[in-house]
Amino acid sequence: MVWFVSHPQDEYFVDNPEFRAFVAEARKVIAQESELTRRIERLKPVFSRLLRSEGWLPVAYLQPDTTSGMGSGIGQYLLFRAGDRSLGLFSLVVPPGASTPVHDHLAWGLVGLYRGEQREEVYELVEGDPDAGVVRLRLATVRAIQPGDFYPLLPPQDDIHRVTTVSAGPSVSIHLLGSDIGCTVRHRFEPEHGVSKPFRSGYSNAPCPPEES
């Protein structure tokens, strides 16, 4: 039987029995299933239960943040970070009417809506290289996201998107990703100008490790 190994430098920014049980169950699935499509399928029921559960996420991590690296008052709060940076969980809080930049993730994962309502625009890379700064994107899908809805990330499929809060209050989404994404250099895009730029979103409540600063 394969079990996950806890790292001595694992960081819990949310520390209650329900959240710890979720992390433990998710890490067991990840350790047992190396094929990403099957891994995500097995994680879906666990993730869905967390999205539909109330009370485990502190109020502090449900608030906008005017100082965040995402801009537009968007808060990005680290909830858990594996010591080896192979897994991260965070909440993303987008104020009413605000939008994230068009951005990619460069990591497998699951993203689900915990509070509020969102419109998601998914883009397809038609040509160009994001690292080179010149790209052409096509708007591929627009969809409404309601609380409890979630979707997988399997780059490069559907990895570039923008979300806008369309509810009267902030939207709060939960991200389970196979990296320390807030400290990872990825890309933000300006589709109307055919431009991509490197960016690192950071976290509202936690610094990046010194080696990543």
Give the pLDDT band (50/70/90) at residue 5.
very low
Q: Is the pLDDT of residue 6 over 90?
A: no
pLDDT tens column, 97-145: 999 999 999 999 999 999 999 999 999 999 999 999 999 999 999 999 9
* CATH architecture of the domain with range 11-205: Sandwich (2.60)
Can you tell me the distance from the alpha carbon of 81 to that of 9, in angstroms, rounded to the nearest whole number? 9
Question: What is the percentage of the chain residues whose pLDDT exceeds 70?
Answer: 95
For residues 20-31, average pLDDT? 96
Q: Is 54 helix (H, G, I), strand (E, B) or coil?
A: coil
Of 23, 48, 43, 40, residue with least CA distance to 113: 48
Is-contact 97 167, C-beta < 8 A?
Answer: no
Q: What does the pLDDT read at residue 3?
A: 39
Q: Say how far apart CA 165 and CA 171 lie, in whole Å.
A: 6
Range 10-26 average pLDDT: 96
pLDDT at 66 over 90: no
Cα separation, 191 vs 22, in Å, equals: 37
CA 94 to chain centroid: 13
What would the pLDDT profile of 51-60 be if each residue is shown by its tens digit?
999 999 999 9
pLDDT classification of 8: cutoffs 50, 70, 90: low
Closest CA to 77 of 179, 210, 182: 182
pLDDT tens per residue, range 197-213:
999 999 999 999 776 54
* Nearest residue to 49 via CA among 176, 168, 181: 176
Q: In which band, very low, low, confident or very high, does the pLDDT at 85 lie, cut at 50, 70 and 90?
A: very high
Domain boundaries of the chain, sorted by first residue: 11-205
Q: Largest alpha-carbon pair distance within the chain? A: 52
Which spans in 33-132 are helix H?
36-51
* pLDDT at residue 4 greater than cutoff 50: no
CA-to-CA separations, 185 to 131, 181, 182, in angstroms, rounded: 11, 8, 8
Contacts of 113 (CB under 8 A, 6+ apart): 51, 145, 146, 147, 148, 149, 150, 171, 172, 173, 174
Give me the pLDDT at residue 2, please: 35
For 148, the 3-state DSSP assignment is: coil
In the numeric block, the tokens 């890490």 are attached to 27
Q: What is the pLDDT of residues 137-162, one digit of tens each?
A: 999 999 999 999 999 999 999 999 99
For the stretch 182-192, pLDDT in tens is 999 999 999 99
3-state helix, strand, coil in the chain (%, to 5): 20, 35, 40
Q: What is the mean pLDDT of residues 15-44?
A: 96
Per the DSSP assignment, residues forming a β-bridge with 82 are none
Angle (CA) 117 120 126, round 5°: 180
In this prediction, residues 8-15 reach a mean pLDDT of 91
d(CA 74, CA 47): 23
